A and B are shown apart, each in its own frame.
Chain A
Amino acid sequence: MAGVVLETLSNRKLLILSVSLVLILAVFFLIGGLVAPAPNSVIPSTTVKCVDADNIWQKGEMKPFLPRGKGKCDSIDHFSDPRVAREGIDANEIVFSQWMPLPKDGKQLDMSRWFQNMVSVIELDLTYNSQNKYPEDRDAHMVLETRVFYRNKEDDVKDWKLLAASTEHRTLQCSIENDNRQDGKRYQCDLLPFFELGTVFYDFYLINIRLPIDKRTDINIIGQLDDLAVVVIFQNGGFTKVWFSIKTVLFPAVVAVLLWFWQRVLTEGRATNLTERTLFSLGIILSIMNCPIEWLTLVVSMPFMTLLNDIRDGAFYAMLFSFWLIFVGEHMMDQVERNQLKAYWKQLTVVILASAACFIFDMCERGVQLTNPFFSIWSSEVGAIAALGFIIVAGISACLYFVFLCYLVFRVFRNISSKRTSLMQMSSVRRKYYSGLIYRFKFLMLVTLLCAALTVISFIIGQVSEGQWKWGDEDLSLEYTSAFLTGTYGMWNVYVISLLCLYAPSHKKYAADTVDETDTNSREEEVQLTQMASESSNIASFISKQAAD
C-alpha cells in the first residue's frame, strides 16, 4: 500500500506546514480575543409593579401592561406605598412588567436580529419580615402566569402582539444566615429559569408576570417580596458577526480540502479503507457544522437554530470520538483483520449511547422550548430526575469511552515497542510499512493531545478569567471567553483540515525508493500489503516469510 502524504513529506515541508497551521490557530484565538466583544451581554432589570385594578388579566384578556412610555400602566413604586393599604390592592392584582431592552442615553434601545438567542432568568428580592417569613421548612412552590409580547419599531405604539403565554410551576429555594434575621435584610435565593428564545427576531419584548394567590393552596407563599428582577442574556451582535465570518470562511475551505482528499482516495483505484472513510465522514460532519445557514436568521425567524446548533456540535464531537477510536484500532498492528465498522461495535455503542442521551436531553429541554419558551425540564420533579438520568448516562458513557480509548492506545504502544525489536529483522518494505504506521500513529497522538490540552487549558483560563470579575475598572483588552470560543472552534477545524491533508494517500510509492531490493519476496509482499489495507498478512504467512528470510 502506498503511504500517506505525511510519510512522504520532507521534514522541511512538514515544518512549514506545521508553522503555518499554528499561525492560523493563533489568528483564530486573536480574532476572538481582540476583534470580538464578549460573547454575551446581560440586561439586569427590575420590573415595574403594575396594578390591574379591574382584574383584566384574571378575566383572561390578553392585554399588555406597559411599564413606561405611551399607555403606561397604573403602577406603584413599592409595596409599602400607602396606596396599597388604602385601596386594598391584592397580590392577585399586581402584574410585574418590563419592556426589553431598557432606555439608555435618553433613547429607547431596540433588539437586533444579530443577537441570535435570548435567555432569561428571574431574581427575587425576598426581604426578611418577622411577621411574614419565607417558609424555610419546606420548598416554596411558585406559580407564574407569564406572557411575552413583541413589537417592532415601525409598528404602532400600542400594537403589541402575543409571543407566548403560559402558566409555569417553579420551586424556589432561599436561605438566610442566622445573624441576618432582622427586618429589612434579604434572603439569598436561587435564580429561577424563565424563558429561552432561539431567535431574537423582533425589536421590543414586553414581559408580564403575575404571581397568583389562592387561599386554598400553598402556592406563592414566599414571605415578603420586595422586587422581582428579570435578567435577560443575549449573544452580542459583534460576536455573532465575527462568528458568522469565521464560519463563512471555514466552510468553503473545509469543503475544498475534503473534495481534494476524496479525489485523491478515488484515484488510487482500489477499495477505500475504513480509516479513509471515517476521515471523510468526519470532514462531512464538520462541513455540516460549518455551513453558515445562520445568515438566514437575519431574514427569517428560525427559533430552532439553537437546537440545531446543539445537534450539529454534538454530531461533530460524536464523530470525532468515533474517529479516534477507529484510527487507534486500525493502527493496532496485532494481525487481526478489522477494516470494518462491525469490529468496533462495542466501543461505538458507548459513543452512540452518550450522544443519544445528550440528544434526548436537548430535545426535552430545547425541543419543547420551541412550543413553550418558558419550559424548563428542571422545574418539575420528574423532569429533573429524567434530565439528571440522561446526564449521568452520558457521563458514564463518556468515562467508559475514555477508558476504552486509553486501553487501545496502551495496546498500540505495547505493540509498537514489541515491533521495534523485530523491526530490524524485517524486510525493508515491511519495515517501511511498519515504521510508517508507527510514525502516522505517533503524529496523530501528538497533535490530538496538543489540541485536547489546548481546549482544556483555554477553557480553564476562560472560567478563571470569568471568575475574577473586574469590579468597575474595565480596561481589559482581551476577551478570554470569546478567544476560547473562536479559538477552539478554529482549532478543531484546523485539526480536521490537517488530518485530511496529511492522511490522504500519497502518490509516491515505496517501490521507487527500494530499487535495489528487487527480490521476489519483497514484490510478493507488496502485493499482499496492498490487498490487505489495514494489516498486511496473517500470522501464517508472516512466520513463513520470516523463515524464508
Chain B
Amino acid sequence: MARKRGRMTRTGWFVLVLSIHWILLLQCCCVASWMYLGVASLAGSVHDDTCSEVPGLVREQLEVCKDNPESLLCISEGARRGILECQSQFRFERWNCSTEKNYTVFGPLLRKGTKETAFVYAVLSAGVVHSVTQACSVGNLTDCSCDMSRYGEADVEGWKWGGCSDNVNYGLWFSETFVDAPESATQTGRNIRSLMNLHNNAVGRKTVEKLMSRQCRCHGVSGSCAVKTCWRGLPAFKDIGQYLKNCYERSVRLAGRSKRRLRRKEKARRREPITNEELVHLSRSPNYCRNNPKRGILGTTGRRCNRTANGAESCDLLCCGRGYNTQVVRHVERCRCKFHWCCYVECKTCETLVDIHTCK
C-alpha cells in the first residue's frame, strides 16, 4: 500500500514537473502569439484553417477558433486595427510600434513589461472588442449572443418578448475570453506580469465601452418624446487610440514585489487603488535610441524627423542628439483629387521637391 502510494506521488511529481516545463515553454514561445493574426491579415493570408497554423494559441483560444472559424477573421481584423492605430499614434515617437514579419510580431520587446507593452496589450484588446462588435452589427458574425437573461428567457425566440441586448456586450465578452486566455491559462504560475497584462487588456476594453456614443429617437404619439428609445454606437477607433495614448503617458508603475495584487510603486499614492482608466507597467522603458536586436529595439537611425517642430518628432529629440542628414527628394503624389463620398474620381499628379531629414 505504502509502496503504491509512493509510486503514485513519484508519477505525480513527474507530471507536475513536465507540466511546468510545458507551461514555461508555452509562455516564452507564445508571447504575442495571437497578435500574429493582425500581421498575417496585413499580408492577406487568413483562411478558415489558420487556427492550426497559428502557433502558440492556447487551448481556450484554439477552442474558440475551432467552434467559430469566422470569428478568427474578426480577431485578425481587430489585431490589425490595433496595430495600425498603435503605429499611427506612435509615428513620431522614438519607438514607432514597428512590427516584424515573424510570429513574435513585436519581437522580444513585449517580454519586458514596459509602458509600450502596456499600450500594445490595451489597444489590441480594444481592437478585438471593436471589430467583433462591428461584425455583430453587420451580421457577419452569426454567433453573437442575443442574451435574454434579463427576462429569464434562454430561447432565441425569447427575443420576440424583449429584444436582444447590445452587441458590445458580446464584443466585450469575446475579447475577455479570447485575449485574456493566455494569461488565465497560466493560473498555476500566475505572476505579476500576467496580472499586468490582464489589467491592461481590461483597460482597453473599458475604453471602448466608455467612449461609446449615445443616440436617441423619439417616437411617441405623433412622434412626440413620450416614448424615446436610445442605443449605443461604437466610437471611431482613432478616438480609442488617442484615449489610450493619453493613458500611456500617465501609465502607473507597479511595485514588483507584490505577487497577487497590483500596487503602485510610488510610495505616496500606494494606498490609492488602481482604476481601470490607468495603464500599468512594471519596468522602465529603454530610450529606444540605439539599435539593439536582442531586446527588439530598432533604434532611430534612418527615421524621418521634422527640423522645425518642437514635439517628439523634432530632429533633436528623435535622433537622440546624433544629428541628421538632409536630402532633397522629388516627391510625386496624387493631388487636387475630386472625391465622391466613397472614392476619388480623378486626381492630378503633382511633383514637389521636399527636404527630407533622416536621423544619423
Residues of A within 8 A of B231 (CB): 42, 44, 231
Residue of B138, B215, B226, B337 touching A123 (CB-CB under 8 A):
B215
CA of A384 to CA of B226, assembled, Å = 21
Residues of A within 8 A of B145 (CB): 104-105
CA of A115 to CA of B161, assembled, Å = 9
Q: Is B230 an interface residue (CB 8 A)?
A: yes
Known: A40-B227, A123-B233, A471-B209. A46 touches B137 (CB 8 A): yes
CA of A94 to CA of B134, assembled, Å = 20
Q: Is the CB of A469 within 8 A of B214?
A: yes
Q: Is the CB of A91 within 8 A of B342?
A: yes
CA of A233 to CA of B216, assembled, Å = 11
Q: Is A466 an interface residue (CB 8 A)?
A: yes
Residue of B151, B164, B238, B339 touching A185 (CB-CB under 8 A):
B238
CA of A98 to CA of B215, assembled, Å = 20
Residues of chain B having any CB pair with chain A under 8 Å: 88, 134, 136-140, 142-146, 150-151, 156, 159-165, 167, 169, 172, 209, 214-217, 219, 221-223, 225-233, 235-239, 337, 339-345
Residues of A within 8 A of B228 (CB): 463, 466, 481
CA of A40 to CA of B167, assembled, Å = 16
Residues of B within 8 A of A112 (CB): 160
Most buried by B among A89, A238, A309: A238
Residue of A37, A221, A366, A463 touching B161 (CB-CB under 8 A):
A37
In the assembled complex, 26 residue pairs joining A and B whose CB atoms fall closer than 8 Å, in A order, are A42-B163, A44-B137, A67-B138, A79-B342, A89-B342, A90-B343, A91-B342, A101-B159, A104-B144, A104-B156, A105-B156, A119-B217, A123-B215, A132-B337, A221-B340, A221-B341, A224-B339, A229-B233, A231-B215, A233-B229, A236-B162, A241-B161, A310-B221, A366-B222, A474-B165, A481-B228
Which residue of chain B has the shortest Cβ distance to A237 in the bound complex?
B160
Residues of B within 8 A of A38 (CB): 162-163
Which segment of A295-303, A357-365, A411-419 sits at the interface?
A357-365
Residues of B within 8 A of A39 (CB): 227
Residues of A within 8 A of B138 (CB): 45-48, 67
Q: Is the CB of B230 within 8 A of A466?
A: yes
Residues of B within 8 A of A459 (CB): 226
Residues of B within 8 A of A45 (CB): 137-139
Residues of B within 8 A of A471 (CB): 209
Residues of B within 8 A of A238 (CB): 151, 160-162
Shortest Cβ gap from A146 to chain B (Å): 16
Residues of B within 8 A of A362 (CB): 222
Q: Is A211 an interface residue (CB 8 A)?
A: yes
Q: Is the CB of B88 within 8 A of A184?
A: yes
Question: What is the 8 Å Cβ interface bit string for chain A, positions 76-92, against chain B (1 contact, 0 not)?
Answer: 00010000110001110
CA of A67 to CA of B142, assembled, Å = 13
Enumerate the 10 nearest inter-chain pairs by beta-carbon distance, A residue then B residue, closest first. A41-B163, A37-B162, A238-B161, A132-B339, A91-B340, A184-B238, A104-B146, A225-B341, A237-B160, A103-B142
Residues of A within 8 A of B161 (CB): 37, 236-238, 241
Residue of B88, B151, B341 touching A224 (CB-CB under 8 A):
B341
CA of A225 to CA of B341, assembled, Å = 5
Residues of chain A having any CB pair with chain B under 8 Å: 37-48, 67-68, 79, 84-85, 89-91, 94, 98-99, 101-109, 112, 114-115, 119, 121, 123, 125, 127, 129, 131-132, 182, 184-186, 191, 196, 211, 213, 220-225, 229, 231, 233-234, 236-239, 241, 309-310, 313-314, 358, 361-362, 365-366, 459, 463, 466, 469, 471-472, 474, 481, 485
Most buried by B among A43, A48, A222: A43
Most buried by A among B137, B144, B214, B339: B137
Q: Is the CB of B221 within 8 A of A114?
A: no
Q: Is the CB of B143 within 8 A of A105?
A: yes
Shortest Cβ gap from A119 to chain B (Å): 5
Residues of A within 8 A of B239 (CB): 185-186
Most buried by B among A42, A101, A466: A42
Tally A-B pairs: CB < 8 A. Answer: 184
Residues of A within 8 A of B142 (CB): 103-108
Q: Is the CB of A472 within 8 A of B169?
A: yes
Residues of A within 8 A of B216 (CB): 466
Most buried by B among A132, A211, A234: A132
Residues of A within 8 A of B134 (CB): 46
14 new A-B contacts, CB < 8 A, other than A43-B163, A191-B217, A237-B160, are A44-B232, A46-B137, A102-B137, A105-B145, A106-B142, A125-B236, A184-B237, A186-B238, A224-B339, A236-B161, A238-B160, A241-B161, A313-B221, A472-B172
CA of A129 to CA of B89, assembled, Å = 17
Which residue of chain B has the shortest Cβ distance to A133 in the bound complex?
B339
CA of A237 to CA of B143, assembled, Å = 23
Residues of A within 8 A of B217 (CB): 119, 121, 191, 231, 233
Residues of A within 8 A of B159 (CB): 101, 104, 109
Shortest Cβ gap from B173 to chain A (Å): 11
Residues of B within 8 A of A91 (CB): 340-343
Shortest Cβ gap from A245 to chain B (Å): 14
Residues of A within 8 A of B136 (CB): 102
CA of A481 to CA of B229, assembled, Å = 10
Known: A46-B137, A474-B165. A213 touches B222 (CB 8 A): no
Q: Is the CB of B163 within 8 A of A37?
A: yes
Shortest Cβ gap from B86 to chain A (Å): 13
Shortest Cβ gap from A20 to chain B (Å): 28
CA of A471 to CA of B216, assembled, Å = 15
Known: A84-B343, A127-B236. A43 touches B222 (CB 8 A): no
Known: A184-B88, A469-B230. A220 touches B162 (CB 8 A): no
Residue of A48, A129, A213 touching B340 (CB-CB under 8 A):
A213
Residues of A within 8 A of B236 (CB): 125, 127, 184-186
Known: A84-B343, A114-B160, A313-B221. A68 touches B169 (CB 8 A): no
CA of A129 to CA of B344, assembled, Å = 12
CA of A381 to CA of B360, assembled, Å = 62
Q: Is the CB of B215 within 8 A of A102?
A: no
CA of A522 to CA of B343, assembled, Å = 94
CA of A241 to CA of B200, assembled, Å = 45
Q: Is the CB of B144 within 8 A of A481?
A: no
CA of A40 to CA of B221, assembled, Å = 14
Which residue of chain B has the shortest Cβ distance to A230 in the bound complex?
B137
Which residue of chain B has the shortest Cβ distance to A225 in the bound complex?
B341
Which residue of chain B has the shortest Cβ distance to A90 in the bound complex?
B343
Q: Is the CB of B343 within 8 A of A79?
A: yes
Residues of B within 8 A of A239 (CB): 162
CA of A40 to CA of B228, assembled, Å = 9
Q: Is the CB of B164 within 8 A of A223?
A: no
CA of A79 to CA of B167, assembled, Å = 23
Known: A102-B137, A103-B139, A114-B160. A361 touches B222 (CB 8 A): yes
Residues of B within 8 A of A469 (CB): 214, 230, 232
Q: Is the CB of A365 within 8 A of B341?
A: no
Residue of B88, B151, B164, B345 touching A104 (CB-CB under 8 A):
B164
Q: Is the CB of B140 within 8 A of A106?
A: no
Residues of A within 8 A of B237 (CB): 184
CA of A466 to CA of B88, assembled, Å = 37
CA of A21 to CA of B219, assembled, Å = 31
Shortest Cβ gap from B100 to chain A (Å): 23
Residues of B within 8 A of A191 (CB): 215, 217
Shortest Cβ gap from A354 to chain B (Å): 12
Q: Is the CB of B162 within 8 A of A98?
A: no
Q: Is the CB of B139 within 8 A of A472?
A: no
Residues of A within 8 A of B214 (CB): 469
CA of A211 to CA of B341, assembled, Å = 9
Known: A91-B343, A104-B156, A231-B217. A42 touches B137 (CB 8 A): no
Shortest Cβ gap from B43 to chain A (Å): 13
